[in-house]
Amino acid sequence: MSERVATAAAHLVLASEADRASGLLFYASLTLAPIRVRIDGVTIRRKRNGDRGVSWPARRSADGRLYPIVQILDPIVRAELERLLLDEARRVQRDLSP
């Protein structure tokens, strides 16, 4: 982690088999220290090209527009947090493999 986020910890929960079939792989939460902030509602999904991507929590309006609940404004911090989540997803997937 950079100086901007001293430490971060990710907690992942494997999505159901039906959700995984549709591309939703994990539900995640992220805890940031030393500021003691926890972000819930993060998901890790399989993209159309097969890569994994992070989706940050958002609400959808009645007319279908998305409104982010969490915005990571610093692109370097966002990339670091996404890398942490994706690395943790790979580790969990590896641990689940027979």
Query: Per residue in 2-24, pLDDT tens?
Result: 565 667 899 999 999 999 999 99
- pLDDT value, residue 35: 82
Q: Is residue 42 in some structural domain?
A: yes
- pLDDT value, residue 6: 63
Domain of residue 78 covers 7-96
Give the span between the Cα atoms of 51 and 60, in whole angstroms. 24
Q: How many domains are contained in the chain?
A: 1
Q: Is residue 1 in some structural domain?
A: no
Give the span between the Cα atoms of 44 and 26, in whole angstroms. 5
Q: Which of 22, 27, 25 is nearest to 10 (CA)?
A: 27
CATH (domain of 22): 3.30.1120.40
Q: Classify residue 80 as exposed, middle or buried by CB count within 10 Å of its CB (0-12, 13-18, 19+).
A: middle
> Running DSSP on this structure, what letter comes out for residue 47?
-
- pLDDT value, residue 33: 83
Structural tokens at position 38: 């926890």
pLDDT band at 88 (very low <50, low <70, confident <90, very high): very high
- pLDDT value, residue 96: 82
Q: What is the pLDDT of residues 31-80, one digit of tens each?
A: 988 888 899 999 999 999 999 999 999 999 999 999 999 999 999 989 99
What backbone phi and psi angles, to 5 degrees, belong to 6?
Answer: -60, -50
* 3-class DSSP state of 32: strand
